[in-house]
Structure 1
Amino acid sequence: MSSEIEVEILKAQGINNVLSLLRAQDLYSFFKLDCEELEDLRNRACLKLKNGEYMIRPAIKDNLDYCIAVLKGKLHEQLPYRSENHDSSSNDSNEQPNCFINTFISSLNDNMNRSKYRYQYNSMMRRFASSVYALGGRNVYQFLRLNIPGAFPSIPTLESYHNEFSKRIEEGEYRFDELVSYSNKINCSYIYISEDCTSVISKVNYDVTTNSFIGFCPELKNGLPSIRQYQTDDFYELEEWFQTVKQSTLVNIHTVQPITHEAAAPFLLSCFGTDNQIVSISILFRWLYIYEKCHTNNIKVVGFSSDADPKFVKAMRLATGYFSQLPNINILDREDIFEIQIPDSWICSQPCENMFRSARALTGSFSTMTNFTIQQFLSKTRKISILNEIKCFEESSTNSNAIKFPTHHKQNQNNSFSSTSTSMDEITMANIEQTIYDAYEHAKSFIEKLEMLPLLVKNHVFELNSLCVHIRDYLKNTIYINDYSILNDDDLEFDSDSDEEINNDLSTTHENSESECEDSDNEPETKSTKDNYNGMRIYSSVADKDKKKFFKMEINGKQKYIHKQTAAWYLTNKNNRLSSDRTVRVQQTNKQ
């Protein structure tokens, strides 16, 4: 591969090992040195040009270049994880940075010495596994678990860990206990509530855990949805619901945005299905209910916000008294009223929109569906809640091995109102009035050029004060609202006595439901006239512990059991779909 002259070139430069050879930048630059010791080697290894310069002989250069290329290839094969420029004599070569990888490798090494049935995971590994499952989905999680044995727990085990971070979210449930826990963790006592809706796929599903059907519009009492309303063991009753009860085409949610010095993730307070047939007074009743419950738990609600949907706007007008009146409900006459200066950037429904976007983003790797049913939305929002809970814990942790999450650049902005460029001390009522007056006078100068000033004088709106009075009278006559709704004060009381009464009512209802089930066993069994059941799973017997999941029916003179989800599928006449395009999706909502 090389002759003696190539060896002499290396010896002349003191290159006596492979690493020295590979670190050399230019093997031939030393021939330019004016040195007598190199004269003989230079004459044998180089060609002298007419201009007096020397050029290395091509064959010698090719031999050395080929030798270096071969050595580099061998080095990469033997040391695949080391850099070419790595200094093996460095004192810091064995030191590892303080990061989560230390915890991950330590847990993996411990489990490699255990049986696969005795793998153990500490709390940090549990949080990491839950985060991977929420962000990557089932397929990604299974792929990592199969290829890195001992690193991730099984999915059933992971589901049991999820209860440490977030309970199951039920339709219509207001999660005040979880809100109190979340507020205490981030040391927050002031919050802002947002309410908004988005389109969902109209479909009825059976929820095994609650033994209820999800997808029908729950009834509202003082604006609050009923919980587990659609529970039945009668197939005919379910069939009647499909014919008479409207199905949800929208999901309505309430999100809580904590007001803190540092960015905090929004919290999902409640969600329920609806068909958009909601009156504004029901929305206002919900807001009052949320306000009272938060006040009971020492959490102050600064305000409520939503988008420009007419029913939400009307509820805001009723709450603030903007050309509206609630003669029978006094909202502002309270002892716990407080004032606060609110930046304009807070007043929006973006926390709700963020929740909707996050839910649509939680789609599997092999799925193109970005929409969801009510049941799927409940499942997705639980994942989001788990992820937010873990992020909150890790970001507040002082552990150097804490799990790191990517942060959006907007979350780094300070939410403090003091960051505004204009000092609030400079803004006074007199300054505001003067600014408005100057703007009006400036506008009149343009009107004068159009020769329209006589028209303003004729209609008594030439002066600013006259214009304000005219506009106020006009709005009062055209958009003023008088709502004579009555709110029962008992509906907003949440002392221990009322809680006890509610529990008693629930226990009574439970006893009644048990007696109804016992009576139904003595009634004639449901008969079906359908002859063809291709594609449906029908069972002759089921375990006693699973009987609540099935309808008991008589088919062809024999007692059979049909799963409640199968019954819901059988009674569904239309397979509704929604477009991924937002504009088209809004148009399709009312057509489901």
Structure 2
Amino acid sequence: METNWDASILPNDVFILKDNEFFECIKHVAGDIVCEILKIQMIDSAQVLINSDDLLSFLQHNSPEINFFRDKVPIRSDIGSVDLGNSNCKISEAQFRFDKVQEYFDRIDAKYAFCSEDCTGIIRKINYDQSTNSFVGFATPLINGIPVAKHYQTNSFNQLKSWFSSTDKSPLLNIHMIQPLQPANHLPDPTAFLLSAYGVVNTYTSIEILRRWLFIFNNSLQKKIRIIGFSTDGDSKYLRAMRLVSGFFGSLPHFKFIEHQEAFDLNNMAQWPWFFLRKKQLFLFFQDATHLVTKWRNRLLSSTAQLIVGQQFITIQHVADIIENSNYTKLDHGLNRSDLNPKDRQNYNSCVKLASDNVLSILLDGADTYGTYVYLRLLQMIILAYVEKRTRIEERLQSAWCIVFVCRMSWLQNKQSKSTTASTTTKTNAKSKCFFTKTAYLSVELNAHTLLYIVLLVKQKQLPREALNVYLFNSQSCESMFRNARSLSGTYSTMVNFTAVDFLRRSQKISLLNSIKCNQVSQQDDDNILSFPIHHKHNRNNNLPSLQNLDDMDQLNVEKIISNAFNQAIELTANLGISKLLKERKIFDLNSLSEYVFQELNSSSRMFDYSIETVDDDYDEFNLEEDEDNDKKDIMDSYSDDEEMKNNLFDNQDDENNYNMMTVKSNFSGIKIYDHIEPCRRDAYFRIKINNSQKYVQKQSACWLLTDNSMRLSNDRLSRVIETGRKES
């Protein structure tokens, strides 16, 4: 199809041309094929054309008229021919793309993966998805935690109106990303793959979450992909699900996770009193370290919490004094006043600067600043253990477990101080002074146990050494997908957020770009492929310290590393007054301290859930990708064979509506409302009465008619900070 059009020959009145005059203009400028494409979609004016989202989406349907165009609308590029009628790259709401994941993993020769899940706020708006003949933007219903695809399908205008009035519009978009572990080579870390996306309301339970994880695990296993574990951002419901599945002071008596034939099993592992995770695990869990880091910083910046560790105060004023001190310049500490802004709650770069060696050195030399030093030193250890790519595995383990031991000591001291006071107010104050929250503490414990568990699996050769790249095991791939989708807004658009349909369309483009990049990496010697530049930070050095060879892993002395971590924790807390209490309780050594903590947690924090396991991973019930294409093809073929039956079904269904809309307007220019439409297009239209006359209303136009409130939501970080400031002022 010729695409070198001369826009200079467009008439000056092109924006007021309609019907035949408009089509003649298009035919003269762009040719017969483009003219026919617009005709079949009733795009009869420039205004309607500008408001059309995807002119070629109709090619995904099957009819004699559409088949005529599908063979004539290819696009060619330097990377080959792309058929826009091909729906392989299509991403539909609530569809789990296990087949596409398998194709991607086969292409990069990967067998192991880590899955992440996260959600973000979206604009509450209902749109019509023509490719699935369904409405997107309503809260997706869940069956046993699994979202139901294409639930909101109807040819009844009354039904759509009922949904608008009675069904929640999705305030959140939930996505699942699959991060593959690629065998050792000179390639960069492979890009995470978008498995599914769907709108939700925040009412699902922990049991629904773990059933969804089990569904993903089993279906991935059928595709010969072993999911090592899952990662989220520290939400309490997800943390509860993690504890229940892993048995970390939680129990699910009716779920038989550890009896699964693919469950990990640490054979011949010593009985360590300080290790609380059971030996058998079906899959593992990480709380997203970046979120943990920002939560750690935000507690320091809190205006309500007065933090104490041992007998030392923790306060951001110590850091502010460094910035204001004329004896120091920015060359000494590298900080800005904006790094201490408590309203900027997701500023990870600020966390890195606060935990820098320069700042820690100044705090260590200061008077009465040791508590703040310890707090920020622990923040630095979290970054080293889980975020930094080049940290050696010994340092990862020691840093992770040093944090655990310091938190255990501080928790015991805080617990003892509360037990010696009878006043409820005093107990509440003691709780608010603890330098970590319950969620942060459990996240620190769970992450350290998971890290060590993975190291032991690699030592026993149950996992490849690439599993040591724990900096990939987080939900930042979800955050990255959200950021990339927001960045695809128009150049002149002031909206930084998206609707559910916007995200699905944009993520389709992102997936296509990632596919091209993947081909580029796997065909580096081919000069004919489209090449994207790779930032030096994303180039993978095969000699990263974390990728030790298996001989080094065999020599790794875990018990010595843990002992060093405990000694480091003792050294850090020596000046805090914690050791005195531990010695009085005779729990100052590693084993006795850990046994005491285990008993306390087991008696006060153990949770139980007696829900019954529901094994239901049938593709058919949830309209998943594998069988959907065949079903869709059969339906479309049967309709093509009997067009008269289709028309009768359409007419009978519309007779039940009898919806009559009264308006003073008689000309509906610019709105897709017609007296007649082509039979092959009827699925995309409602048949209603307007002023007692039969009309066909395009389903997207019906959404516009029923929308009575235009929602806007900004997810730009600066905008959120400004909005928070307005609310507090």
Question: What TM-score do the two structures reach when normalised by structure 2?
Answer: 0.53
Q: Distance in 2 between matches of 1:425 and 1:404?
A: 40
Distance (whole Å) between structure 2 residues aligned to residue 580 and residue 504 of structure 1: 35
Contact 1:197/1:252, CA 8 A, preserved across alignment: yes
Q: CA deviation at 1:241?
A: 0.6
Cα separation, partners in 2 of 1:355 and 1:566, compared to 1, 3 Å: same
- For residue 137 of structure 2, the aligned residue among 202, 210, 215 is 215
Give 1:282 deviation, angstroms.
1.5
Q: 2:537 aligns with which of 397, 410, 421?
A: 410
Quote how far apart the aligned CAs of 1:227 are: 1.0
Stretch moving more, 349-358 or 517-526: 517-526
1:325 corresponds to which letter in structure 2?
S
Aligned residue number for residue 695 of structure 2: 560
Tell me if structure 2 keeps the 8 A contact 1:165–1:390: no
Which secondary structure state, in structure 2, belongs to the residue aligned with residue 247 of structure 1? coil
Query: How many angstroms apart in 2 are the aligned matches of 1:184 and 1:251?
Result: 29
Secondary structure at the aligned position of 1:292 is classed as helix
Indicate the SS of the match to 2:468.
coil
- Residues 179 and 472 of structure 2 are in contact (CA less than 8 Å); yes or no, is this contact kept in structure 1? no
Distance 1:161 1:367, change over 3 A: farther
Change (3 A) 1:549 1:505: closer
Cα-to-partner distance string for 1:36-57 (whole Å, 9 max, x where unaligned): xxxxxxxxxxxxxxxxxxxxxx
Query: What is residue 487 of structure 1 aligned with on the other side?
Result: 613
Partner of 1:345: 471
Amino acid paired to 1:404: S
User: Match of 1:401?
Assistant: 528
- Bigger shift: 160-169 or 254-263? 160-169
RMSD of aligned residue pairs (Cα, Å): 4.1
The code of the aligned residue for 1:428 comes to N
Matches of 1:494 and 1:234, distance apart in 2: 27
Question: Given that residues 176 and 269 in structure 1 are in contact (C-alpha distance below 8 angstroms), is that contact kept between their aligned partners in structure 2?
Answer: yes
Partner of 1:227: 149
* Bigger relative contact order (CA 8 A; separation at least 6): 2
Are the equivalent residues in 2 in contact too, given 1:343–1:417 (CA < 8 A)? no
Aligned AA (1:572): T
Secondary structure of the structure 2 residue equivalent to 1:332:
helix
Give the direction of change, closer, same or farther, for the CA distance of 1:284–1:453 in structure 2 (3 Å limit).
closer
Pairs within 5 Å for 1:9-88: none
User: Is 1:367 aligned with 2:493?
Assistant: yes
Deviations 1:195-252 (A, max 9, x none): 1112211100011221111000111112111111111111121111111111111211
Per-residue CA shift, 1:499-554, capped at 9, x if unaligned? 9x9889979x979x989756424436212355568875532222222222222222
C-alpha separation between the residues in 1 aligned to 2:192 and 2:484?
12
Alignment length (residue pairs):
437
Q: 2:176 touches 2:197 (CA, 8 Å); kept in 1?
A: yes
Alignment partner, residue 59 of structure 1: none
Deviation at 1:271, TM superposition (A): 0.8
Please give the per-residue CA displacement for 1:281-319, whole angstroms capped at 9, x wherever unaligned. Answer: 212111111111111111111221121122222222222
Counterpart-to-counterpart distance in 1, 2:509 and 2:166: 33
2:221 maps to which of 295, 301, 318:
295
* Gap change, CA 1:457 and 1:204, over 3 Å in 2: same
How far 1:483 moved relative to its partner? 1.5
Deviation at residue 441 of structure 1 after TM alignment: 4.4
Matched, 1:388 2:514: yes
Q: How far apart, CA to CA, are the structure 1 residues paired with 2:709 and 2:722?
A: 18
Q: Which amino acid aligns with 1:199?
A: G
Match of 2:245 among 316, 319, 324: 319
* Residue 255 (str. 1) matches residue 155 (str. 2): no
Alignment partners' CA distance in 2, 1:587 and 1:248: 24
Q: How do 1:109-120 and structure 2 match up within 5 A?
A: none
* Secondary structure of the structure 1 residue equivalent to 2:198: strand
> C-alpha distance in 2, partners of 1:254/1:367?
28
Matches of 1:402 and 1:174, distance apart in 2: 30
* Counterpart in the other structure of 2:231: 305
Q: Provide structure 1 residue ranges, at least 5 long, that are not aligned to the other structure.
A: 1-107, 109-115, 119-137, 140-153
Aligned residues with identical type, % of pairs: 36
Offset at 1:347?
2.2
Q: CA deviation at 1:177?
A: 1.1
> Match of 1:547?
682
For 1:569, the equivalent position in structure 2 comes to 704
Structure 2 counterparts to residues 260-279 of structure 1, below 5 A: 260=182, 261=184, 262-263=187-188, 264-279=190-205
Instruction: Tell me how far 1:421 sits from its aligned partner.
Output: 7.6
Partner in structure 2 of residue 525 of structure 1:
658
Runs in 1 of length 4+ with deviation above 6 angstroms?
501-507, 513-516, 586-589
Aligned residue for 2:131, secondary structure, equals coil
Partners of 1:445 and 1:506 lie apart in 2 by: 68
Q: 1:458 to 1:252 in 2, by over 3 A?
A: same
Structure 2 residue identity aligned to 1:206:
Y
Q: What is the CA–CA distance in structure 1 between the aligned matches of 2:123 and 2:705, rounded to whole Å?
A: 17
Alignment partner of 2:603 out of 474, 477, 480: 477
Q: Distance in 2 between matches of 1:296 and 1:534?
A: 56
Aligned mates of 1:400, 1:444 — CA distance in 2? 59
Q: CA deviation at 1:394?
A: 2.5
Whether the 8 Å CA contact 2:92–2:504 is kept in 1: the answer is: yes
Return the letter of the residue paired with 2:141. Answer: E
Q: Which residue number corresponds to residue 17 of structure 2?
A: none
Structure 1's 575 and 402: CA in aligned 2 closer, same or farther, altered over 3 A? same
Report the secondary structure of 2:257's partner residue.
coil
Conservation of the 8 A alpha-carbon contact between 1:166 and 1:385: no
Residue of structure 2 aligned with 1:178, choices 91, 100, 113? 100
Distance 1:330 1:527, change over 3 A: same
CA distance in 1 between partners of 2:712 and 2:83 (Å) = 34
**8 Å CA contact retained: 2:619, 2:627:** no
Corresponding position: 1:578 with 2:713: yes
